[in-house]
Amino acid sequence: MGNIVDELKTILEPGKLAVDEQTLAIYAIDQGPVLDYQLPLAVVWAETVADVQAVVTACAKHHVPIVARGAGTGVSGGAHASPGCIVLGLERMNRILDLNPDDETAVVEPGVINADLNDAAAVHGLMYAPDPASFRTSTIGGNVATNAGGLRCAKYGVTRDSVLALDVVLADGSLIHTGHQTFKGVAGYDLTGLFVGSEGTLGIVVGATVRLKYLPREVHTIAAFYPDFRSAAAGVLAVGKARVQPAIMELLDGGSLRQLDEIHGSDLSARGASLLLIQTDGFGAAAEADVVRDVLAASGATVTREASAEAEQLVELRRNSRGVEVDDEYRVGEDVAVPRSRLVDYVGELEAMAVAHGVQLKVVAHAGDGNLHPTFWVDRLDNQMDAEAMQRLGAALDKSITVALAMGGTITGEHGIGQYKLRWLGLEQPQPVRELQRRIKELFDPAGILNPGKAI
């Protein structure tokens, strides 16, 4: 039958395939922790739908796994190379094919960077609402495949809420179109919704029709500094009880503020032990901001009346709060979500479990959605594995998961299961549900070549 790499070389034009070690190493992993390091057989870059179809068809013929890849900013190992795989890079398929200001929709190729779509939409007074903190680098295809969330999701919903239709190359190389160009549409099963968040395991997304929202005329940002983390979490509930709907509600603990100060030379940690950052938008933004300020001040916060330039800068700092960190065996960032009513209890539990297990902790949260990113880490020893510290880290991570689940939460609010979170999936999803998902996977991908070992 020959060799898959040789066949791909004959199918693809020059410059669309690489097998050199340096490229293979770059494309072997995303930004998630690595459990099982594998080099792909080759990296290929599709530039057209036909390229994707040709690659998938050849891989199907040779029973070779395919790992789709956008920008590789995923943090769950969803784009890590599987054993003996071809990594299929979609980053060159980066054209905005249509932007219709009257329909308030756009049709994009999968490699379009989230920020580029937003820049194009802004010209028409529109925006693409889902804004992962990685929006300047991550792709719409990757956002769709992970059902990415972001800061503005508190008001505008997650990626799935903005995707109307998809073009998808299936495991046999055929191309299908799902969904509709209209905002409404309930014909048949919602296959578009199924592909969103499927992490490259059901098909390769080669096109997306997305809904755009109005770029708000006015935005007000409020920074509320609290003396402790639990009080700041309580502030989130207080705003909800006032029945005001901010676009952004981000929560940072003391560890995150100290880290931002170190990186950016800011003085955030001198101003409080926790920061709640709230943004209201739209024509009622000023009135809503007034209500929010009163509510937060009454809940014990020192509330700033920032000039918008400084407030905007705080949001920007929050977007960068992950810094250049890449998770590894010593540092793991989590992604649990809990019902908002349990937010205060959960942040208290997090602080207690870090102390109990002797591990370091910092937390940022898309608090409006009850979605928290606690990062636990232990200091690394030079050139040797500290088994005892790793054991403490693992115990803290497990505890953060079981406590979130006991509160009615989920193990992943937006980053996906990928490879890393598979070990906890059984704690959340009962066996019959997992079995049904396995059968769906089998239906779409009977030979199991699409991103094996991920997501389910």
* Interacting residues toward ligand FAD by CB under 6 A: 30-31, 67-75, 78-79, 90, 110, 132-134, 138-139, 141-143, 145-146, 148-150, 199-200, 204-205, 322, 414-415, 451, 454
Tell me the C-alpha to C-alpha distance, in Å, between residue 406 and each of 161, 193, 346, 433: 27, 27, 10, 19
Nearest to 85 by CA among 47, 48, 36, 50: 36
Cβ atoms < 10 Å from Cβ of 37? 10
Shortest Cβ 101–ligand FAD spacing (Å): 26
Tell me the C-alpha to C-alpha distance, in Å, between residue 438 and each of 63, 127, 189, 215, 431: 19, 36, 18, 40, 10
Per the CB < 8 A criterion, the answer to whether 434 and 425 are in contact is: yes
- For residue 302, which phi and psi values (nearest 5 degrees)? -90, 110
Shortest Cβ 150–ligand FAD spacing (Å): 5
Shortest Cβ 7–ligand FAD spacing (Å): 22
Long-range contact pairs involving 45-50 (C-beta distance under 8 Å, separation at least 24):
45/15, 45/16, 45/17, 45/89, 45/91, 45/92, 46/16, 46/88, 46/89, 46/90, 46/92, 46/93, 46/206, 47/16, 47/92, 47/93, 48/93, 49/93, 49/167, 49/169, 49/175, 49/206, 49/207
Shortest Cβ 386–ligand FAD spacing (Å): 26
Q: Using the minimum distance from each CB to ligand FAD, give the nearer residue, 46 or 292.
A: 46
Shortest Cβ 322–ligand FAD spacing (Å): 4
Per the CB < 8 A criterion, the answer to whether 274 and 350 are in contact is: no
Q: Using the minimum distance from each CB to ligand FAD, give the nearer residue, 69 or 293.
A: 69
Q: Using the minimum distance from each CB to ligand FAD, give the nearer residue, 220 or 454.
A: 454
Q: Using the minimum distance from each CB to ligand FAD, give the nearer residue, 249 or 301.
A: 249
Q: Using the minimum distance from each CB to ligand FAD, give the nearer residue, 200 or 296.
A: 200
Q: Walk across the sheet containing 360-366 and list its strands.
A: 302-303, 219-226, 274-281, 248-252, 360-366, 371-377, 331-333
The CB-nearest residue to ligand FAD is 142
Q: Walk across the sheet containing 17-18 and list its strands.
A: 17-18, 42-45, 86-89, 66-69
Shortest Cβ 383–ligand FAD spacing (Å): 27
Shortest Cβ 94–ligand FAD spacing (Å): 11
Q: Using the minimum distance from each CB to ligand FAD, give the nearer residue, 37 or 283.
A: 37
Q: Using the minimum distance from each CB to ligand FAD, give the nearer residue, 29 or 354.
A: 29
Residue whose pair of structure tokens reads 């200091």 in the numeric block: 379
Q: Using the minimum distance from each CB to ligand FAD, give the nearer residue, 254 or 453.
A: 453
Shortest Cβ 168–ligand FAD spacing (Å): 8
Shortest Cβ 30–ligand FAD spacing (Å): 4
Alpha-carbon gap, residue 174 to 244, rounded angstroms: 47
Please classify residue 280 by burial: count the beta carbons closer than 10 Å to its beta carbon, then call 0-12 exposed, 13-18 middle and 19+ buried: buried
Shortest Cβ 286–ligand FAD spacing (Å): 27
Q: Using the minimum distance from each CB to ligand FAD, give the nearer residue, 226 or 420.
A: 420
Q: Using the minimum distance from each CB to ligand FAD, give the nearer residue, 139 or 375.
A: 139
| DSSP-assigned states of every residue in 156-220 | H--GGGGEEEEEEE-TTS-EEEEE-SSS----SS-HHHHHTT-TTSS-EEEEEEEE-EEPPS-EE
Shortest Cβ 354–ligand FAD spacing (Å): 22
> Could you tell me if residue 15 is left (phi over 0), alpha (psi between -120 and 50 degrees) or otherwise beta?
left
Nearest to 318 by CA among 285, 353, 277: 277
Q: Using the minimum distance from each CB to ligand FAD, give the nearer residue, 148 or 407.
A: 148
